[in-house]
Structure 1
Amino acid sequence: MLKILNPPYIKAHYPYQIIVSGILIFFCFQLSAQEYQTYKAKKGDGIYSVLKQNGYSYTESLNQFIELNKSKLGKENALIIGKVYRLPLKTDTIAEVQKIQAKIEALPEKTVYEIFGKKYREITIKSKELAGAIYYLESGHGGPDPGAIGNLNGHILCEDEYAYDVTLRLARNLIERGATVYLIIRDPNDGIRDEQYLAPDKDEVCYPDNEIPLSQLARLKQSTAAVNSLHALNKKKFQRLVVIHVDSRSEKENIDVFFYHDKGSNTGKRMANTLKETFEKKYAEHQPNRGYSGSVSDRNLYVIKNAVSPAVFIELGNINHTRDQQRFINPDNRQAVANWLRDGLIDDFKKSIK
C-alpha cells in the first residue's frame, strides 16, 4: 500500500478480474434464485417424479428435498396436493460457482499507483512478507534544491533526480511484498524513468503536498516533521525511515554504497548493518572479483537524529566519479540497487519480529 496522495492511495482491479467477478455474481444470482425455485404439487406427484421431471438425480437430491420441505410433507414423506415445495440446489451449479470462486482467489492482487508513471503504475502483490511494516522513504533534496551536481558527456546529473528514481523503485518493490509505504518527497509527474539522463525540474513537494523551501534547515525540519506526524498516527506499528542521497566528492574518489545511523539508535544501527551485509552478499554473488568497500557509521545528521522512527541514511555513491556515475545513469543499475535495498529491509524486518 502506498500513501502519497489525497485520497492517500489508489487501487484498481484489472478488467479480467472484473469479468470473472461478474461471472461469479451471475452464477451466485442464479444460485440464489434456484434456492427459492418452487413446485406446486399436483395429483399423482411424488418426490421421485417431481425431482426427475425437474432434472434432478433422485438419489443425490432426495435428502436435501426432504430437509427443505419437512414441514410440508405428509405421512412417509408424501406430497400434499396444492402445497408449494422448494427444489434443491443443483450440484453442478454449486460446483461451477465453487470453481469460479477458486479461480478468483487464485488471481494475484493487483493495484495501480499513478505516482510510478505509466509504465510502472500497475503492481502485482507478490507476497505478504512485509505485511504490517511501514516505511517512510525520503529522497534527498528536491524542489528548489537539486542537491549534488555532476557532469557526464555534456549532461548535468542532479542528485535529487537520481535519488528519487531509486526511491520510487524501492517503494514499488516494498509494496509488491505487502508493505505500507509513504513517500515523503514526491514528484507529481516524474514516475520511474528508464532514461540514462534524468531531466531536472523543481516541482517536487513534501508530504502531504507542501512546497519545499530553499533553506536547508527549513527543508530538513519540514521533512522530519512530516515523518514524525505520520509516526504518531501509526503508533505501536513497525516503522522505519529510509533516507536516500547521492554524495559529492572529488572526481578521483570512487565509493560504494554506504550507510549512516544515529549514534543513539541501536535499531537504526542494526538496520544499517543488515543492509551493508546484503550488499556484500550481492556483490560477492554478482561481481565476485570486485569486492565491496561500503561502510556503516554513526553520524550527527538532522533527519535521522530528530526522526522518531528508527532510520538509516544511505549514500549511493559519488556523483562526480565516472564509475559511480554508471550506478546512477544505468536504469538497470538503479533497479538493482533498489532490489538489494528491498532484500536488506526484508531481512531487517524478519530479524525485528522474531
Structure 2
Amino acid sequence: MFLSVFCFGQDSLKTIVAEPGDGILSLLRKQGVDPYEVFDEFVLLNNDNLRDSVHLIEGRTYIMPAVKLDTVAIVDSLQIQSKEIKELESVSYDIFGEKHKNVIEKSERLKGTIYYLVSGHGGPDPGAMGIYAGKAIAEDEYAYDITLRLAKELLSHGAKVYIIIQDPNDGIRDDFILEIDHDEVAYLDKTIPLNQVARLKQRVEIVNDLYKSNKGNYQRLIVTHVDSRSEGQNIDVFFYHHEHSKNGKRLAQSIHKTFEAKYKKYQPNRSYSGTFEDRTSLYLVKKTHPAMTFIEIGNIRNAKDQVRIVDPDNRQALAKWISEGVLLDYEGE
C-alpha cells in the first residue's frame, strides 16, 4: 500500500501552540485530525521540539501534518527545505490493531537485520501485579504493549521483526489501565504452558529455531519485562546481557547509553541510575543463541515507576528510546 506524500514549504504549514495539559493525541483531536492517522508524521515533523521524544512542551509551537484528500502528508526537515514531492510505502500489520496498523517507512537504516522480540509472561501467567487507581495491572500487558511499539519502530527503519509472544486482539493500546486477559500465544499460535520452566523452554526453542533458520543474517534478541519490588523502591530501566556475549553487551550498552543521554537532556536535574550488566543466571539470557539484551522497565508496584508504565505516551517514549539504542548499536558495527 502506498501513501502519496506532499511536501510543502514550512511557512505554508499550519502551526499550533501547546496548551497546559495537551498531549499529542488530544492536540491532534482538537484540530479535527484523526490522531492515529498522523501521529508518526507529527513526531517526525516536531522531533526536535518534543520532551522525551513524544511529549509536548507547554507554550511551544508545533507544526501540524498536512492532509490532502485521503492521503497523509509527511514533511520532514529535508523535505521542508527542498519542497520535494515523493511517495512513501506504508505496510499494514494487523497485530498492531486497527488504529496503529500502518507502518510508514522512516528509513532503511536497519535493512537486512532481524530482531526477535519477547515480552515477559503472558497466557496463563500475568507476571508481576500492581494496583493503579484502584485497579489491578499486570506485567504481561504492559511489556507486550511496549514490545509492539518497539516492533513498529524497528519495522519503520527496515528491520525484519519476529514478535514471539502475541495477543490476537489487543494491538497497541492507548489506555492507562490495560485490561488483563489470558489469550496470548507463542509464535505460530502455540499455547503458552502454565509451568514456568516449560514456558521459558518454549520461548528458547522458538527463538533458537528461528535463529538457525536465519543463519548468516544479522540477528538480535530483545526481551522486555516489568519488575516487582517493594512499593517504596523506585528504579530506573535496567539492561542485562550474557557475560560471554560481546555483541549482547554492546547492544545493552548502546541502549543504556541512549537512556543516559535522554535523561541528561530531558531531566537534567535527575540522575539516571539504570545499569547494564551480565545476568547469565536468567534462563532466556543463558539459553538463547542470538546476541541479546533483557530489559526491566520498572517496578510495577512503585507509584513513580507506574507513571512510566501506565502512561501510553511514556510507553511510546520507552519504545522509541530503545529503538534509538538499537540503531546506535547496529550503526556502530
- Partner residue of 1:240 out of 205, 214, 220: 220
Per-residue CA deviation, residues 304-335 of structure 1 (Å, 9 max, x unaligned), is: 11111001000000000000000111000000
Alignment partner, residue 153 of structure 1: 133
Write the distance in 1 (CA, Å) between the matches of 2:209 and 2:135. 38
Letter aligned with residue 341 of structure 1 = I
What displacement does 1:298 show?
A: 1.1
- 2:159 aligns with 179
Q: Secondary structure at the match of 2:297?
A: strand
CA distance in 2, matches of 1:239, 1:108: 26
Q: Which residue of 2 aligns with 1:273?
A: 253
Q: Distance in 1 between matches of 2:127 and 2:258?
A: 27
* Structure possessing the higher radius of gyration over alpha carbons: 1
Q: State the SS of the aligned residue for 1:263.
A: coil
- The answer to whether the aligner puts 1:348 opposite 2:329 as a matched pair is yes
Alignment of 1:1-354 (within 5 A): 13-14=1-2, 106-299=86-279, 300-352=281-333
- Greater share of residues in strand: 2
Kindly tell me: are residues 128 and 15 of structure 1, through their superposed partners in 2, closer, same or farther at Cα, counting changes over 3 Å? closer
For normalisation by structure 1, the TM-score amounts to 0.70
Partner residue of 1:80?
A: none
Per-residue deviation, residues 74-108 of structure 1 (Å, max 9, x unmatched): xxxxxxxxxxxxxxxxxxxxxxxxxxxxxxx9310
1:257 is aligned with what amino acid?
Answer: V
- Partners of 2:231 and 2:100 in 1: CA distance: 34
Q: What TM-score do the two structures reach when normalised by structure 2?
A: 0.75
Q: Which amino acid aligns with 2:134?
A: G
Task: Give the aligned partner of residue 68 of structure 1.
Answer: none
Tell me the alpha carbon deviations over residues 176-195 of structure 1, each in whole angstroms, 9 at most, x when there is no partner: 00000000001010000000
Match of 1:88 in 2: none
Q: Secondary structure at the match of 1:333?
A: helix
| Residue identity in the other structure for 2:311 | N
Name the CA distance, whole Å, in 1 between partners of 2:332 and 2:319. 20
Distance 2:135 2:324 in 1: 32
Conservation of the 8 A alpha-carbon contact between 2:255 and 2:326? yes
Whether the aligned pair in 1 keeps the contact of 2:4 and 2:88 (CA below 8 Å) is: no
CA shift, 1:233, in A, is 1.1
2:4–2:87: 8 Å Cα contact kept in structure 1? no
> Can you give the 5+ residue segments of structure 1 that lack an aligned partner in the other structure?
1-12, 18-104
% same residue? 53
One-letter amino acid of the counterpart of residue 277, structure 1: K
Which residue type is aligned with residue 269 of structure 1? K
- Write the letter of the residue equivalent to 1:207: Y
Q: Partner of 2:332: helix, strand, or coil? A: helix
TM-align CA RMSD: 1.5
Question: How far apart, in 2, do the equivalents of 1:241 and 1:262 lie?
Answer: 12
Runs (4+) off by over 6 Å:
none
**Partner amino acid, structure 1, of 2:135:** H
- Compute the displacement of 1:14 (Å): 4.3
Report the structure, 1 or 2, having the larger helix content.
Answer: 1
Corresponding residue for 1:78? Answer: none
| Cα displacement (A) at 1:157 | 1.1
Instruction: Kindly state the Cα deviation for residue 270 of structure 1 after the two structures are TM-superposed.
Output: 1.1
SS in 2 for 1:107: strand
